[in-house]
Amino acid sequence: MAHLAPTPPVELIEVTELRLVEEPPPQLSAEHRAARDHVWQELAGDNPALFDGPVVACTSVSQPHPRELLLGWARVTYRNFALRRVSGATALPSLFVDVLQPTDDGRLLVARMSTATAHPGRWHLPGGSVEHPDAGEALDAEALSRNAARELSEELGVDTVPDTLTLWAVTRGDHGNVGVHFVAPPRSAAELTDRFTAVLSAGAAAGQLPELDRVALVRTPSDLTALPGPHPDYLGPLVGRYARGPW
């Protein structure tokens, strides 16, 4: 398997089958480890929302068959991504999941990250980084769909059975980051808004800062330009593909 590298513009891969295999992370020299830790301490000092917890990174990608994708992954912590700022070091790309949540009228829900996150003000699809599986559990397509359903519930208050999420596309974009994107069954715009408002209210009552502070509904990539704030490179292509349908 060839190691991933940044491949601008965003690569959108249409797949129906996804397989994952665990691989060891690259060995770091003492110099690169020290530089990584120094960069991480500076980043964490500037943004207290950064948390050096367990996370999955993507080590390799290949397509054994046209509609099948094989992803290699490794157990790291979030400070692995600080290696992007260390000259000559290898920083593995991130592996994340998210959900395209449509409304009954064909729009998609996007959400803005709050000041309590690592990317305040950025619009994205509900989702997040993939964490290590528990001991004895596999990291496979089913596990990723459960991860995506959990993110949808935690961030939007929308409870979705993982089996109803459909593997829809994989993207490879900035820094070679790999996103696994699922599509959920449509819901009414009113229900989605009400459930998100309830999540915000419950968090405020508990004295918790929300992960997301605003949601919007978009139909085409041009709708994203009207939203105040940045969005990741893969969001426009995904919204555009969904708008074109059918898939």
Fold of 14-244: Nucleoside Triphosphate Pyrophosphohydrolase (3.90.79)
Residue 162 carries which DSSP code? G
Question: Rounded to two decimals, what is the model's pTM?
Answer: 0.91
95 to 74, 160, 200: CA distances (angstroms): 10, 22, 27
Going along the chain, which residue ranges are E strands? 11-13, 17-22, 54-65, 68-77, 95-100, 108-113, 123-124, 127-129, 166-172, 178-183, 212-218
**What pLDDT, on a 0 to 100 scale, did the predictor assign at position 2?**
41
Tokens standing for residue 241: 């593909």
* pLDDT per position as a tens digit, 71-119: 999 999 999 999 999 999 988 999 999 999 999 999 999 999 988 787 8
- With cut-offs at 50, 70 and 90, classify the pLDDT of residue 135: confident
Task: Among 64-68, 149-153, 184-188, name the one with the lowest average pLDDT.
Answer: 64-68
CA angle, 89 as apex, 21 and 9 as ends, to 5°? 70
Closest CA to 179 of 127, 111, 236, 101: 127
For the chain, the domains span 14-244
Closest CA to 158 of 97, 87, 109, 223: 109
The bridge status of strand 68-77 relative to strand 166-172 is unpaired
Angle between the 141-156 and 189-205 helix axes, to the nearest 10 degrees? 70
- With cut-offs at 50, 70 and 90, classify the pLDDT of residue 4: very low
